[in-house]
Amino acid sequence: MRVLLTTWGSRGDVEPLAGLAVALRALGVRARVCAPPDEEFVTLLARAGVPLVPLGPTVRSVVAGDTPPTARDAFRLAPELVAARFGTLAAAADGCQALLATGLLPAGARDVAEQLGIPYVFACFHTVGLPSRHVAPGARPGTPSPRDETDNRVLWEQDAQRVNALYGEALNRHRAAIGLPPVGNVRDHVLTDRPWLAADATLWPAQGMTDLGVVRTGAWFLPDERPLPEGLEAFLGAGAPPVYVGFGSMAAHAPAGIARAAVEAVRAQGHRVLLARGWADPSPVDDVDDCFVIGEVNQQALFRRVAAVVHHGGAGTTTAAARAGAPQVVVPRIVDQPYWGTRVAELGIGSVHHGPEPTRDSLSAALRTALDPAVRRRARAVAGAVRTDGAAVAARLLLDTAVRATPSASR
């Protein structure tokens, strides 16, 4: 049995697929991953022993330029990714019994599965972007909705129009080329009526957040047994647990001076600092030896040994910190990050930084809350409720989906 997993997005979109592929392998299912060819993703998937088929441009080339991507960039990228999926996925899925897609709206993936006659599954790591009568859609490139429009049903219809403007022409042109009829609502076509939600139920409760019948699997973790680097071990052993500060791919366009503000805020609370490079590749703000800069490391091991985690609020980092029982300070920027921050605060396992421009004082205040002993006790309690079998659950579901769709004579 073989399956194809595909995504285009940041590490938070790629690493869960590596975890799912490893869980599938444990069931005797061979999985390959179509993902952007960023060097860190190539390394990540190689470490997991999962074949990578390059898909589209690197994410870093799109999001980590001198300026943040614009709406014009989005309208260039959308048809490029549609074309890449029709070309790359069709070849990569040959001989596969199922195709699962996630990440930036994977227009083209369902259509390749349809062409090949195999099941298609859309998976997501949060419910932002899934239609809901109770929650308004987030921002998307294209014509904005009128400011005075408050009816969520109307707002979601306008969101679907924006998706059509981004992907519709390219998708239907490629569908016509392989003999498939046009799609009228690209968003709903991609999402399906039963998307899989790969998020922990404690951290992201889905009730009331979408009208779709989501299939909850739990978060997908990639097991990581790597030891921490020698220098990092020495730093950890030289004093009290430090505070981790890292903003992942968001660091490329984080507010100016955020690294210095964060380091000064941590120092103001009497702690040492672990500063993660992310995609900004920051240098120490000074030569004081209470700040240690790290690259890509085993977060599962590291987060159990820090006083708190200050981060951007991505699904992967939020869940990893919660699983480790580490108090958190979420500094959200886009999409799902504000809700992860809100949820961290609601659960009492940390705090969320409000406002677009973090300063030494504002970050220090948020960190003071997270470092309260009661918050650490609560974080440790919640850690016990975070399920770690999400990838195994999803692997069994995907195997069952593929088997049900496979004629008995060819099994």
Least confident of 56-70, 147-161, 372-386: 56-70
Taking residue 37's Cβ as centre, other Cβ atoms within 10 Å add up to: 15
- Count Cα neighbours of 176 within 13 Å in the Cβ-side half-sphere: 7
Taking 80 as the threshold, does the pLDDT of residue 180 lie above it?
Answer: yes
Give the H/E segment covering residue 243.
Answer: strand 243-245
**Which residues touch 258 (CB under 8 Å, ≥6 apart)?**
247, 331, 358
Provide the pLDDT confidence category of residue 209 given band limits of 50, 70 and 90. Answer: confident
- Tens-digit pLDDT profile for residues 1-13: 999 999 999 999 9
What pLDDT score was predicted for residue 409?
41
pLDDT at 199 over 50: yes
Q: Model confidence at 411, in pLDDT bands (50, 70, 90)?
A: very low
Half-sphere exposure of 102 (CA within 13 A, CB side): 25
For 63, 65, 141, 330, the CA distances from 295, given in Å and listed in that order, are 19, 20, 32, 20
Question: What is the predicted pLDDT for the residue at 390?
Answer: 98
Q: Which residues pair with 329 in a beta bridge?
A: 310, 351
Read off the pLDDT of each residue in 273-302 and give the average, rounded to a whole number: 84
Predicted pLDDT at 12: 93
User: 131 in helix, strand or coil?
Assistant: coil
Mean pLDDT across the chain:
93
pLDDT tens per residue, range 220-238? 999 999 999 999 999 999 9
pLDDT (0 to 100) of residue 63? 86
Task: Select the more confidently predicted residue: 280 or 369.
Answer: 369
Give the N- to C-terminal CA distance of the chain in Å, as an integer.
Answer: 8
Q: Domains of the chain, with CATH numbers? A: 2-221+389-410 (3.40.50.2000), 230-383 (3.40.50.2000)
CA-wise closest residue to 139 among 314, 312, 353, 338: 338
> Does pLDDT of 171 surpass 50?
yes
Would you place residue 67 in the very low, low, confident or very high pLDDT band (cuts 50, 70, 90)? confident
Res 298: pLDDT: 96
Q: What would the pLDDT profile of 330-356 be if each residue is shown by its tens digit? A: 999 888 999 999 999 999 999 999 887
Of 55, 60, 103, 7, residue with least CA distance to 314: 103
Q: How far apart are CA 145 and CA 156, in angstroms?
A: 10
